[in-house]
């Protein structure tokens, strides 16, 4: 695998996890398009933040072969990022939708 393929798989896993979470928890769902966008941005955000701990795409391929332990951690962080991206989008929507008392 290449670094680019690992990055694309991570983003795709975040996208899928956000859509699955939105399907099970209707309260957090924004429809297919909204869930997809939230999953992509949440996954990218979490991989960029936590990838510095040593399980980013370059670290996974550092030895020339795929480090499966680091790759599985990367996928788990992508799943969490997709789900938390959807939850954060719901929180922002709730805050923006509430009318302050005058």
**Residue among 19, 1, 3, 12 nearest 75 (CA):** 12
d(CA 81, CA 68): 20
Report CA-CA distances (Å) from 50 to 15, 17, 74, 76, 90: 18, 18, 9, 11, 22
pLDDT at site 101: 60
Residue 23, both tokens: 């399907």
**Strand, coil or helix: what is 68?**
helix
Q: Give the residue ranges of the chain where pLDDT is below 70.
A: 98-102
Q: Identify the pLDDT of residue 55.
A: 80
The predicted pLDDT at position 67 comes to 84
pLDDT score, position 98: 62
Chain segment 75-90, per-residue pLDDT in tens:
999 999 999 999 999 9
Q: Which of 84, 59, 83 is nearest to 6 (CA)?
A: 59
Q: Express each pLDDT in 31-42 by its tens digit.
A: 999 999 999 999
pTM summary value: 0.86
């Amino acid at each position: 695998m290449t670094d680019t393929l690992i990055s694309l798989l991570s983003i795709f896993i975040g996208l899928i996890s956000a859509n699955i979470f939105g399907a099970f928890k209707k309260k957090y769902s924004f429809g297919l398009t909204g869930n997809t966008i939230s999953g992509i941005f949440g996954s990218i955000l979490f991989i960029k933040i936590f990838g510095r701990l040593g399980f980013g795409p370059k670290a996974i391929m550092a030895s020339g072969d795929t480090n499966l332990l680091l790759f599985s951690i990367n996928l788990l962080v992508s799943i969490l990022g997709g789900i938390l991206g959807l939850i954060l989008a719901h929180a922002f929507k709730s805050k923006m939708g509430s009318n302050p008392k005058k």
